[in-house]
Amino acid sequence: MSERRPELRIGDRERDAVASALQDAMAEGRLTMEEMQERLDAALQARTYADLDALVADLPIDPPSAALTSPRPSDPRLLRAPGSSVEDRLVLDAGWSSVTREGRWEIPPFVRINGAVGSVRLDCLQATTRSDIIDIEVIGNAGSITIVVPQDWSANLDRLSAGWGSAKSKVAAQPSRGAPLLVLHGAMGWGSLVVRHANWFDRRRLRKQGILLDPPRRPELGR
């Protein structure tokens, strides 16, 4: 077995994996929002495995540098961050509880959201993406799903069946130049879904972190 060597350089895949683990830790109540945000900022600046190891040292997960001495998985999809292909979507499953993705993170091109009987909040206000189109498969069940997007992002719900539930978009259906389009498809079941821009509470929360969003558009476009 080779030496771990935590001084080795990392790439975006390792940073993204730690960012995902930190967000999961906050959702589980292991970190406060402030602690998660501070560690996410550090993860974005990390250069070595040692930098990332320090960010998860008090969490019940393997340190990132452990991958250096672990056998490489036979499935090449496991070497990529989830969401890079339609066969391996980033999954946000509420179960009986709640799942939140927010802060600085990169939203992949393929996502699956399952509201189950809980709630899912997909906050893209500080997110980045490399994709012009973000394919979101929705399984509403009886849960609630909220997607918050920046002013220039858009969403198309034409392929999403509301069923006995509800699905509403309060954002433009056509993207601005250079901005991504969220294409939602699937079925809501008994659940509810809303896609919207930042509200007063979102702006107030971010202002406390020193983050100012673009002013809201008037009038607000909707579906």
Residues of 107-132 as b/e, b for ≥16 C-beta within 10 angstroms? bbbbbbbbbbebbbbbbbbbbebeee
- pLDDT above 50: residue 202: yes
User: What is the rounded average pLDDT of the residues 104-114?
Assistant: 93
Residues 194 and 107 in one domain: yes
Q: Are 32 and 79 in contact (CB under 8 A)?
A: no
Residues 65 and 137 in one domain: no
Question: In the prediction, which pLDDT does 187 show?
Answer: 93
Residues 66 and 83 in one domain: no
Residues 66 and 88 in one domain: no
Residues 125 and 218 in one domain: yes
- pLDDT above 70: residue 28: yes
Q: How confident is the model at residue 157 (pLDDT cuts 50, 70, 90)?
A: very high
Residues 67 and 101 in one domain: no
Question: In the prediction, which pLDDT does 8 show?
Answer: 85
Torsion sign over Cα 37, 40, 42, 44: negative
Comparing C-alpha atoms, which of 179, 180, 196, 85 is closest to residue 145?
A: 196
Residues 84 and 36 in one domain: no
Residues 124 and 30 in one domain: no
Q: Tokens 């202002």 identify what position?
A: 207
Q: Are 179 and 202 in contact (CB under 8 A)?
A: no
Q: Tokens 């895949």 identify what position?
A: 13
Residues 14 and 120 in one domain: no
The residue from 71, 91, 108 where one domain ends is 71
> For 27-31, 52-56, 194-198, which range has the lowest pLDDT when averaged over its residues?
27-31
Q: Are 173 and 223 in contact (CB under 8 A)?
A: yes
Residues 40 and 106 in one domain: no
β-partners of residue 197 are none
At 69, phi and psi to the nearest 5?
A: -115, 5
Residues 170 and 213 in one domain: yes
Question: In the prediction, which pLDDT does 83 show?
Answer: 87
Question: In the prediction, which pLDDT does 119 show?
Answer: 94
- Total domains in the fold of the chain: 2
Determine how many CB atoms are found less than 10 A away from the CB of residue 215. 8
Please give the Cα distance from 33 to 42 (Å, whole number): 14
Determine how many CB atoms are found less than 10 A away from the CB of residue 14. 21
Question: Half-sphere exposure of 75 toward its Cβ, with a 13 Å CA cutoff?
Answer: 7
- pLDDT above 80: residue 190: yes
Distance of CA 211 to the CA centre of its chain: 19
The residue from 21, 38, 71 where one domain ends is 71
The residue from 46, 71, 96 where one domain ends is 71
At 124, phi and psi to the nearest 5?
A: -105, 10
Query: Range of 161's domain?
Result: 76-223
Please give the Cα distance from 187 to 140 (Å, whole number): 6
Residues 15 and 30 in one domain: yes
